[in-house]
Structure 1
Amino acid sequence: MNKNTILAKTGQILYGGDYNPEQWPESVWKEDMRLMRLAGVNFVSIGIFSWAKLQPTEKTFDFGWLDRLMYLLGENGIWADLATATASPPPWMSRYPDLLAVDVDGHVYSHGSRQHFSPSSPTYLRFAEALVKKIAARYAKHPALAAWHLNNEYACHMNMCYGEASAKAFRLWLKERYHTLDALNAAWGTAFWSQHYSAWEDVQPPRKTPMFSNPAQTLDFHRFTNAAFLKIAKMECAILRKATPDLPITTNLMSFFKPLDYFEWAKELDFVSWDSYPDPLDYGELIGARGHDLTRSLKPGRPFVLMEQVTSHVNWRPVNVAKPVGTMRLWSHQSVARGADGVMFFQWRQAASGAEKYHGSMVPHSPDPEKTRVFQEVRELGAELKKLEPVAGTLVRSRAAIVVDWETWWALELPSKPTEFNYLAAIEPVHRYFYERNIAVDFVTPQSDLSGYSLVVAPTLYLLRGKDAKHLDRYVREGGTFLATCFSGIVDENERIVPGGYPGHLRETLGLWIEEWWPLGPSETRKVRLGAKALSGSRWSEVIHLKGAKALATFEEGYLKGKPAVTRHALGKGQAFYVGTVLDDSSLGVLLDDLSRGLKLAAPIKAPKGVEVTLREGGGKRFLFLLNHNGKAVRLPLGRLKGTDLISGRKSGKAVLLKASDVAVIELE
């Protein structure tokens, strides 16, 4: 099997859900198989929370039920995404004192929920390794096995552990990173506040302190936490790859999840997958699109899988509204439109007990689930996804990119800044611009290959290594267009101010230096003039001095009146722009519209507001996705584009009529 594609073994768009038959008597399983076949299910995740069932005591294992389940799936033509079951240790393991995680206040977590373990616990690592080895050996050659599923939503509920096991592991991690205490003291700036270390044993996690913790120490603890969880995943991957070198491995990520650097995680996975739960009351299609775009970007050149979503309603919000009729179908097709080759749900059959018994499912609580609205929508979606088989393996191609850097996120949101920054609040308006104009956009890191992008936008890239700044500078000099927004390039990887003036390593690229910052109050705004256009900034302003750049826009009021607010620097074959305030959405749109027009970035076709348009390409084929998020019908002219709608089977003609919440997938001629 070629594990570079998740479809090499299935040959279909994956469809199914998280299946937990251990919660039900085996008499229910055969009915599950019948309903799965009826719904078009071809792929299920199993065993995710089954550790206690597989290993009921420290010295005993029970795989009989899983053997019977795997046989049943194979008999019914359903592929298994078999989990390593390490997501939640069984109760007996909590007898070991190092297992349980400890929060920043010193409180010890208890068994009774999930993810209560310390990622640095030797006990956890020992038992997890043994379990994965047994599962891998037992099922490596099983004909129903299509993929491995590591753990589940790593670090979702418990991430930063401050217990003794973590303290010991943190010191070992620091020794590997810095080698000597002198190097550690220099990196952490321990001359400040009398924090100089003379023994490794004195170094602790950044536990509760009376005032600000050392920012470099806290940043390193973020890095360590990411590495501690990734160590678990790497351990599991090594076992699975030895047993099944040709089977793909994944784990379910969670989009913009702060504790884990998903670009690092994606390097260890054969395909990426994620869990999407946008609130139907909160512009869910935009939030879903942003998550799809990030997940697609983590593993360039490969489709991803939407591993979890809900059919109707979740159980963990104050008010758990159901998705309106048609929304589940629409949002499922959105994932395929933005690069997914699999559409999955949590979960298959709604639980009868436990903390998630009110979470929606593919088979809801009902004496006759087959006749429920939810199951009928599930069945209809399954039939439609079968028609999209030609789309599988094709890709979304982008010429625009947004820089995302997890270490910037960790460092930027540490306390004691000139103003309080929210990293996602800087990223979201930029993504929203491209989404609303149907311009394909990827997310990249400062280290990514940028050669294929005409425009790269870096919102508030606060932390920037010198080598990464050189990489961005080279991108511009070789013909790229780069846009950085305020408070970028300020510190290096150790959270130290880059000497020579702001914006540090970006000074030459941007052709300017910044004398001082002028944060604005919550209700303050500043008028900005861009030629004949009136723009508006808020929250931030700064005194910019030009050193090669030219002012495109100036502040129009206050102390900074007449001083640069937006600049452009011609550099080599390219150009670098800088924005010294936080532009509102409309003003940001004016600036990005100018850049997009100049770079000929445009949607595949023109569409009215609320209609999402994407293009997937590959193997000489092109597929135009049209999704109507409006509550009314719309008519879309296609111009010279012609093709056949894979869902309806109809020729497209000169225009497509989309009903409210409707979808068309046109294979273009």
Structure 2
Amino acid sequence: MTQSAWPALEGIAYGGDYNPEQWPREVWDEDVTLMREAGVNLVSVGIFSWALLEPKEGLYDFAWMDELLDLLHAHGIAVDLGTPSVSPPAWFFHAYPDARVVAKDGTVMGFGSRGMASHASPEYRAAIERLATELATRYADHPAVVMWHVHNEYGVPVGEDFSPRAVASWQSWLQRRYSTLDALNGAWGTAFWGQHYDDWEHVVAPAAMPSVANPAMKLDWARFTDEQLRECFRIERDAIRAHATQPITTNLMAHQSWNTDLWKWAEEMDIVSDDHYLWAPDEDSHIGLSLAADLTRSVGRGRPWILMEHSTSAVNWQGRNVAKRPGEMRRNALTHLGRGADAIMFFQWRASRSGAEKFHSAMVPHAGPGSRVFREVTQLGAHLKDLAELRGSTVKADVAVLYDWDSLWAQDLEWRPSDDLQFRERMRAYYERLWRDNVTIDFAHPEHDLSGYKLVVAPASYLLTASAGENLTHFVANGGTLLVSCFAGVVDEHDAVHEGGFGAPLRDALGLTVEEYLPLRAGRSMTVTYGEQSLPADVWAEDMTLAGAEVRGTFVDGPGSGMPAITRHSHGEGHGWYIGTRLGADALAAVMADVYADADIDLPGTPAGVEVVTRHGEASDYVIAVNHGETHADLPIHGTDLITGARVDGSLELQAGDVAVVRTSHAREGGGR
């Protein structure tokens, strides 16, 4: 069988998770009527329904699902059919108590939540394969089913498992990875602290320990955990694929979940999907949204993707669940669309009256269809219908930002020089600078082919393999511009410091070596001179020895007083920039202006707070402009606004909080890439 690359739908997919099992049967009829009113054409069902689909082991009840799918199909609503493996029923844990997850401290996780099964449990793996097979056999040819949705948010809330079965799987995984104990001992540096292993059964998992666990072990444990989760996905995917041809996905959480390597996950899926929720403490959470959207598109290698979940308003699981204000939901949704999503979905359709998520917003909130939220949901559905022609168009970028989960896992382990220098914080700071400059970016792995980019930015490349260093050096030698942030190229794939010292893989590209790291005490700051400007810096300084690089910025004070802070090096046909301290997004502006000049990147001069992205189609381009600011903005664009239908002749006036989607010709791209 061959599978489709995209669900059999017209236009942009619109809808959300639908959990009708929470409601009386008469509510279903109201729901489908309201869905048609709102423009919904796709819903996800069955994700938490294992206990209803298999009320007793081996006894299946599909009558209610049959009725539901028939009802949805009769009203023109397609189905993303979920497998409910995220929430095994009570009978499963009663029958198989060894399938429960064990926490790092030895606590056995009980029933009554979600995601509580051990992914190493053979009984769990057999049960999810049987249920996926039953679902696929029954519904592969149902006309409502246009795609399949395996599990839900792998690794959330449970990724790590320290049960005896997980530890046995860990030992087997290590045997496959290293073949011999000598190889494992060498990779982990077990000569340190007398940790040598002479039997595979003696290899422990990094559970609770008196002091810090071996960092190479913890890095491999993160890789193992990721692979365990992906094995379970493959079990269900393959069971479905044996009977069904529709595309198969699972909902990832780009930049919001730490224990899944999305580069590897995307290779296993027909379509990449993402769940994204605003982080309330972040007053510029729309920038974090754009980061997640770009990352999702990038791991899918630029293909259109599915926003499987976001919220109409507040979520329920943060310390302070801030509600979205009028118009914010539309800005969020169309930002995802602008950055490559061809499906805009929510959690969930109707707000739950009971359970842990009853305060989570929904397309139909507790206030009902007469509410502002539902009016905005209906308005968004109408907009997406008008924007159907964007489907299949793509986003192009001249700039790549390096993102590597191995480096994330390694950098954020214990006993680094400073707890204040974290992967996600550095990623956000550099991304925010690029966002504020309205530079469209792709994310890339350090070992990817980077030849199509003018500029590569490495905000957090603590772990950098020798081959990745060669790749980046080759990129610079062939005319590219590389910008590297501090604490880069420090360790190899085993978290061992590179031979040759800190930054050794990038020495030729950057023209320097780092002799020592000089972290600051908590709350301390310093100043860096850059040309005529003084830039505030904090957390980190470095003692560099230059080997061809020129000094562009100098520490004025702090532990690195008088030493180089920012350098530029000519290597081959290109340039390597290095920033040996922590600069915030505002301070980065001055440096980035010169980096852009080296890379021959012209900034569009977009007003502050306005986000502009272009999707490129076969016949036309589409400029998506979102005004997050508090004043109106004028943008130099020619074309037709697909939302209002108005002609735009060189000046688009975008009111505060508004969104426009303008069809332009290829010859007259306006307002950004």
Structure-1-length-normalised TM-score: 0.96
Query: Which 5+ residue runs of structure 2 have no aligned equivalent?
Result: 666-673
Shift of residue 613 of structure 1?
1.0
Please tell me the residue identity of whatever aligns with 1:191: A
Q: 1:659 to 1:480 in 2, by over 3 A?
A: same
Q: How far off is 1:34 after superposition?
A: 0.7
Q: Distance in 2 between matches of 1:355 and 1:635?
A: 42
User: Post-superposition shift, 1:558?
Assistant: 5.0
Aligned to 2:341: 340
Say if 2:398 is the partner of 1:399.
Answer: yes
Q: Is the 1:635–1:655 contact (alpha carbons within 8 Å) kept by the matching residues of 2?
A: no
| Cα offset, 1:2, TM superposition | 8.4
Are residues 1:650 and 2:646 paired?
A: yes
Matches within 5 A, 1:149-160: 149-160=149-160
CA deviations 1:306-364 (Å, max 9, x no partner) are: 11111122222233232111111121111111111111111111112111122111112
Give deviations 1:396-447, integer Å, cap 9, x for gaps.
1111111111111111111111212311011111100111121101111112
Letter in 2 for 1:295: T
Aligned partner of 2:294: which letter? D
**Is residue 306 of structure 1 aligned with residue 304 of structure 2?**
no
Does the 8 Å contact 1:4/1:271 carry over to 2?
no
Q: Look up the equivalent residue of 1:468 and give its one-letter code.
A: A
Residue identity opposite 1:299 in structure 2: G
Q: Please name the residue that 2:354 is paired with.
A: 353
Larger displacement relative to structure 2 (124-133 or 567-576): 567-576
Alignment check: 8 A CA contact 1:347 1:361 kept: yes
Amino acid at match of 2:658: D
In the TM superposition, 1:206-285 aligns within 5 A as: 206-245=206-245, 247-256=246-255, 257-279=257-279, 282-285=283-286
Given residue 289 of structure 1, which amino acid in structure 2 is its aligned partner?
Answer: S
After TM superposition, where is structure 1 displaced by more than 4 Å over at least 4 residues in a row? Answer: 1-5
Which whole-Å CA distance do the structure 2 matches of 1:122 and 1:391 have between them? 45
Q: Which residue of 1 aligns with 2:601?
A: 601
Which residue number in structure 1 is paired with residue 9 of structure 2?
A: 10
2: CA distance, partners of 1:629 / 1:419: 34
1:325 paired residue number:
326
Aligned position for 2:586: 586
- Aligned-pair identity in percent equals 42
**C-alpha separation in 2, matches of 1:606 and 1:146:** 43
| 1:286 paired to 2:254 | no
Secondary structure of the 1:652 match is: strand
C-alpha separation in 2, matches of 1:453 and 1:4: 30
Cα shift at 1:58: 0.9
* Superposition deviation, residue 180 in structure 1: 0.8
Per-residue CA distance 1:280-306 (angstroms, 9 max, x = gap): 562221121111111111112311111
Equivalents in 2 of 1:239, 1:169: separation in Å? 22
Partner residue, 1:445 = 445
Question: How far apart, in 1, do the equivalents of 2:58 and 2:635 lie?
Answer: 67
Q: CA deviation at 1:500?
A: 1.3
Q: Which residue of structure 2 aligns with residue 567 of structure 1?
A: 567
Choose 176-185 or 272-281, whichever is displaced more. Answer: 272-281
Q: State the shift of 1:600 in Å.
A: 3.5
Q: Which amino acid aligns with 1:13?
A: I
Moved more, 44-53 or 372-381: 372-381
**In the alignment, what sits opposite 1:78?**
77
Deviation, 1:660, is: 2.7
What SS is found at the alignment partner of 1:89? coil
CA contact (8 A) 1:5 1:302 kept: no
Aligned to 2:417: 418
Deviation (angstroms), 1:559: 5.7
Report the CA distance shift for 1:3/1:448 in structure 2 as closer, same or farther (over 3 A): farther
Residue type of the alignment partner of 2:298: S
Aligned letter for 1:495? D
SS of equivalent to 1:297: helix
Deviation at 1:625, TM superposition (A): 1.1
In structure 1, the residue corresponding to 2:165 is in which secondary structure? helix
Q: Deviation per CA, 1:523-582: give whole Å up to 9, x if none.
A: 333322223332232211111111122222222335644322112221122111111111
| Structure-2 change in CA distance of 1:643 and 1:131 (3 Å) | same
Q: CA deviation at 1:104?
A: 0.6
1:409 matches 2:405: no
**Change in CA separation of 1:630 and 1:560 when aligned onto 2, cut-off 3 Å:** closer
Given that 1:4 and 1:302 are in contact with CA atoms closer than 8 Å, whether structure 2 keeps it comes out as: no
Instruction: State whether residues 518 and 560 of structure 2, in contact with CA within 8 Å, keep that contact through their aligned partners in structure 1.
Output: no
Cα deviations by residue, 1:79-109 (Å, 9 ceiling, x for unpaired): 1111111111111111212210000100000
Structure 2 counterpart of 1:540, one-letter code? W
Residue 22 in 1 paired to residue 18 in 2?
A: no
For this pair of structures, how many residues does the alignment match?
A: 661
Q: Give distance in 2, aligned partners of 1:542 and 1:38.
A: 60
- 1:31 paired residue number: 30
**Is this contact kept in 2: 1:491–1:504, CA < 8 A?**
no
Residue of 664, 667, 672 corresponding to 1:668: 664
Shift of 1:186: 0.8
> 1:482 — aligned with what?
482
Q: Distance in 1 between matches of 2:512 and 2:324?
A: 49
Instruction: Give the whole-Å Cα distance in 2 for the aligned partners of 1:598 and 1:466.
Output: 26
Aligned partner letter, 2:553: A
Distance 1:202 1:162, change over 3 A: same
Structure 1 residues 125 and 393: alpha-carbon distance in aligned structure 2, compared to 1, 3 A threshold: same
Contact 2:544/2:563 (<8 A) preserved: yes
